Amino acid sequence: MVRFPRKGKRKCRRTIPLKTLLRCEWEQFNRRAMLIGGIVVVVLALICRIAIGSPVYVRHLLRLPDCMPSSLCLYLIGGILFFLLGALFGALVAAPTPAILRTRFRGTVLLVPLLLFRLLWFPLFFGACAPALALISLALAALCCVCAFIALVRVSRLACPVLLLNLIWLIWLICATLFVLLLN
């Protein structure tokens, strides 16, 4: 005797929770490459900022408002985001998944100009006292961030929060730079 399944009952497909997917993705990343990438980018940012010197005098030169955060706050938030972007770059370069190599390569290639434009903002704003050029640099960095997010959204779920945090920070920096530009 053969039993047929009832029409009302269907087998449920089991879905994998997001937490499990993120843990699996985290386990396949090369943590050494992430650490090296993060440290290299932070060292580049520190060299760039040390070469410019102290931005304290620029606060008076550009007539920065009191609502702007201190330079230490900019250093800390910027440094953390630089480390996260460098770690993401290192993870994507060393990721062992060849099936999505082309998409991952596009996202990785977009991270390089993003980092360069982000590194360029500080010397333009504080070193050259050119907020207009710094605003252009930030706009290009935001464009690269959005393009990298679009390229990596299906490839890496861990890349999305890093790029979203960076985009929020870039939007705030664009608003602050635009405010300074309008004041001067």
Say if residues 92 and 109 touch (Cβ distance below 8 Å). no
- The better pLDDT of the pair 161, 51 is held by 161
Q: What is the pLDDT of residue 142?
A: 94
Q: Which residue has the higher pLDDT, 184 or 45?
A: 45
Greater pLDDT, 161 or 71: 161
Measured over the CA atoms of residue 70, residue 71, residue 77 and residue 78, the dihedral's sign is positive
For the stretch 80-125, pLDDT in tens is 888 888 888 888 777 666 555 666 677 778 888 988 898 888 888 7
3-state secondary structure the chain: CCCCCCCCCCCCCCCCCHHHHHHHHHHHCCHHHHHHHHHHHHHHHHHHHHHHCCCHHHHHHCCCCCCCCCHHHHHHHHHHHHHHHHHHHHHHHCCCCHHHHHHHHHHHHHHHHHHHHHHHHHHHHHHCCCHHHHHHHHHHHHHHHHHHHHHHCCCCCCHHHHHHHHHHHHHHHHHHHHHHHHHC
* Residue 4: predicted pLDDT: 47
Please report the pLDDT score of residue 140 as a whole number.
95
Percent of the chain with pLDDT over 90: 12
pLDDT value of position 167: 93
Better-predicted residue by pLDDT, 74 or 144: 144
Residue bearing the bigger pLDDT, 63 or 77: 77
Higher pLDDT, 55 or 146: 146
pLDDT in tens, 132-172: 898 999 999 999 999 988 888 877 777 888 899 999 999 98
pLDDT band at 19; cut points 50, 70, 90: low
Distance, in Å, from the CA atom of 154 to the CA atom of 23, rounded to the nearest integer, reads: 16
